[in-house]
Structure 1
Amino acid sequence: MRLTSFTDYGLRMLMRMGSAPERAFSTAELAQEFQLSRNHLTKIMQKLAGAGLVQTRRGGGGGARLARPPEEIRLGDIVRLLEEGQALVECFEPSGGDCTIDGGCRLKSRLRVAEMGFIDNLNRSTLADIALTPIE
């Protein structure tokens, strides 16, 4: 399974935020630290905020901080959220894609089980387990 850059960057941001959960981080600061596009990180932060994983505040002294302790945030739930709308294979798309063997395919159900197993396995770990070493 390959994760999108959206998920990769989101995990990096959360790993950093998990290293100092009481602290607010600006997207500009995170973008500079990881050498990524601020606009891209802003979209990811909005998704995380919409799901209640982070709280954001505008203005001076603002930024984003974790909405819950890192010990309560499961990795599989993060990946499921950030990969939302990304089909593992074409036939998993809402339209069904251009699959010519739909109806007789015995692979699809196995891929669904594998995908669920991947998320379940990640959910055995929390953000606290992968938080970056605090930077002084």
Structure 2
Amino acid sequence: MRLTSFTDYGLRVLMRLAGAPDSVMTTGELAAEFNVSRNHLAKVISALSAAGYLETRRGGSGGAKLTRPPEEIRLGDVVAILEADQVLVECFLPGGAACTLTPHCRLKARLAQAEASFIADLNQSTLADCVYRPAFFTPPDV
């Protein structure tokens, strides 16, 4: 299984924001930190916002922040949402039956189960398990 760069960056954004939960970071700041295209990251942040993981604001004090605690964000759910438009194999597409084996295929069900198991396994972990704090970030004294 291979995740798209879209999902990879989505997970990175969430991990980075989880490392500074009270902070608001702009798309430009995150893009510079990850050394990726600002436009690509803007699409990722938009998808995370539409899925309810991020709150975004425009303007001088704008940026993105998590909508809920990292402990409440399951990794498998995030991956499933960000990979929703990607199919494992062609026959998983709606109307995708170009394969001549489709009428008698036994592989499709096994692949579907493997994909479900992958998401279920990821859902055993939350974003809190993967928090990223850069070296220059010093958490406040508690």
- Bin for the TM-score computed over the shorter chain: over 0.9
CA gap 1:17/1:106 in 2 versus in 1, 3 angstroms:
same
What is the one-letter code of the residue matched to 2:129? D
Q: Which residue of 2 aligns with 1:58?
A: 58
Matched residue count? 136
Gaps of 5+ in 1: none
TM-score w.r.t. the length of structure 2 is 0.93
Once residues 78 and 71 of structure 2 are traced to their aligned partners in structure 1, the CA distance between those partners, rounded to angstroms, is 13
Find out whether 1:98 has 2:89 as its counterpart.
no
Alpha-carbon offset, residue 133 of structure 1: 2.3
Amino acid at match of 2:66: L
Structure 1 residues 34, 102: CA separation in 2 closer, same or farther (over 3 Å shift)? Answer: same
Matches within 5 A, 1:1-136: 1-134=1-134, 135-136=136-137
Is the Cα contact below 8 Å between 2:20 and 2:133 reproduced in 1? no
Q: Which runs of 4+ in 1 moved over 4 A?
A: none
TM-score by length of 1: 0.97
**Structure 2: gaps of 5 or more residues:** 138-142
> Matched residue of 2:56: which SS?
strand
- What SS class does the counterpart of residue 8 from structure 2 fall into? helix
Residue 97 of structure 1: how far off its partner (Å) = 4.6
